[in-house]
Amino acid sequence: MNFFIYTFGCKTNTYESESMSRLLSETGRYRAVSDYVSADVVIVNSCMVTGESEKKAAKLIRRIRRENEKACIVLCGCMPQVIGEAAFGTGADVICGNTKRADIVKAVDSYFEKKTISRDMKIFRVEPHLKDETFELLAPDRYKNLTRANLKIEDGCECFCSYCVIPFARGRVRSMPPEDVFKVAGDLVNSGHREIVLTGINIGMYGKDLGLSICDAVKAVSEAGAERIRLGSIEIDLISDAAIEELSRIPGLCPHFHTSLQSGSAKILKRMNRRYDPEEYMRKIGLLRSSFANASVTTDVIVGFPGETEEDFNDTVEFVRRAGFFRIHVFPYSKRNGTAAAGFKDQIPVEIKKQRVAALEEVAAELKKNFLTGQVGKTVNVLFERSSGGFARGHSENYVEVRVRTEEDLKNRIVSVTVSGVDSSGDFVYGNIG
């Protein structure tokens, strides 16, 4: 039978979708196809971070049902893990959580077995996260369409930021033992991946359950032979000064740090239950920059958090200017049921949120152009991802997109490039090989 997986959300979800695809294909009874119209099974791997992502999953299921009526539709991931049986309201046939991703094969098999008995068969497989739950080892063999390979090393979060539903969706921290990190990373390297991206729900908490730290995971990947190692999003308060120093000595670690700021206002950070103040954040990114040459820092900011005044918002704008971020992902605050902030009285009107998103995105574009301009004249190592139309494009170690004019197919090659200029779009730079 043909199957198709549609993935919403984060790199961890991408990793889990690739792993589910491998498990289904290995049975010999299921074959991956490239669209949902010709699939017998369509799996929607959902995300719960914002109200938008929840709505998009429901809308997609309605469209699949219209365009492929006979398909068995599976809704899995963070959305059913949080809303449970209410997920059947989307019209899906099979509902799976994110505790046991490997159960996807059993769930789909049992749907077809039981379908022979009753036409409107529904399967529900959502189990609660348990206190003593351990890390579920899933491993894609390789990423067919990606040059960089995601490697999920951690699951769960115990921070309970007041706006965030993820701890309810993902449970307590579970870490992949370093010997498995070494093995899976080795498999990805042997299958041709030259860069490995360490991902998880909160990788800064990696090892909390094993008495280890993120440094141990990075070392295991480096020892497995990865030429480049990139950290996924990491919380600034969870990387100590000592860890930064230790990380700076591990060969191959890319000088790019995505660390969510969320707000530049100390008052709002407190209300968000974030575990740092603006000055401590600034000190830490300063330390990252002094420990890694030509480092880039990218971040996320939520605007329109309940109680955010014009003055608080201006604090954020002033802070991001001072921090000189390479990129800023700007999100309007999204109320999530079950979170502390959903109960806060002073919610911000949508119109104000929109204005603040627009204003901050303008500043973000300016800061990005400044950062890219600062790369001109520098020599960087670019991992090329594709070649077309006389150009090859890829990313440098500090995650700048670089394009060079060449007829040669540089896909999956790491080449030294001298940056020559910034494109007028302000999105990438040009360079010359050598």
- The residue among 90 and 162 lying less far from ligand SF4, judged by its C-beta, is 162
d(CA 215, CA 243): 7
Site size for ligand SF4 (CB under 6 A): 10
When the beta carbons of 138 and 164 are compared against ligand SF4, the nearer one is: 164
DSSP state of 338: T
Is the CB of 159 or the CB of 176 nearer to ligand SF4?
159
Nearest to 299 by CA among 322, 342, 319, 328: 328
Binding residues for ligand SF4 restricted to 102-161, rule: CB under 6 A: 157, 159-161
**Residue 298 Cβ, how far from ligand SF4 at the closest point, in Å?**
15
What is the closest distance, in whole angstroms, from the C-beta atom of residue 65 to ligand SF4 in the complex? Answer: 32
Tokens 């080795």 map to which residue? 186
Nearer to ligand SF4, 235 or 312 (CB): 235
Q: How far is the CB of 198 from ligand SF4 (least distance, A)?
A: 16
Site string for ligand SF4, 327-346 (x = CB under 6 A): --------------------
Judge contact between 172 and 156, C-beta under 8 A. yes
Nearer of residues 227 and 300 to ligand SF4, judged by Cβ = 300
392-414 CB burial, b ≥16 within 10 A, e <16: bbbbbbbbbebbbeeeeebebeb
CB of 206 to ligand SF4, least distance (A): 13
Residues 155-214 that bind ligand SF4 (CB under 6 A): 157, 159-161, 164, 166-167, 201-202
**Angle formed by the axes of helices 178-190 and 214-223, nearest 10°:** 40
Shortest distance, position 205 Cβ to ligand SF4, whole Å: 8
Residues 6+ apart with CB under 8 A from 69: none
Q: CB-wise, 292 or 331, nearer to ligand SF4?
A: 331
Distance (Å, rounded) from C-alpha 106 to C-alpha 94? 11
Q: Which of 225, 257, 238, 261 is nearest to 175 (CA)?
A: 238
Least separation in angstroms between CB 363 and ligand SF4: 22
User: What is the Cα–Cα distance from 13 to 10, expressed in whole angstroms?
Assistant: 5
The Cα–Cα gap between 433 and 380 comes to 10
Nearer to ligand SF4, 165 or 392 (CB): 165
- Binding string, residues 227-266; x marks residues near ligand SF4 by CB under 6 A: --------x-------------------------------
User: Rounded to the nearest whole angstrom, what is the least distance from the CB of residue 158 to ligand SF4 in the complex?
Assistant: 8
User: What whole-number distance in Å separates Cα of residue 91 and Cα of residue 74?
Assistant: 10
| Residues binding ligand SF4 (CB under 6 A) | 157, 159-161, 164, 166-167, 201-202, 235
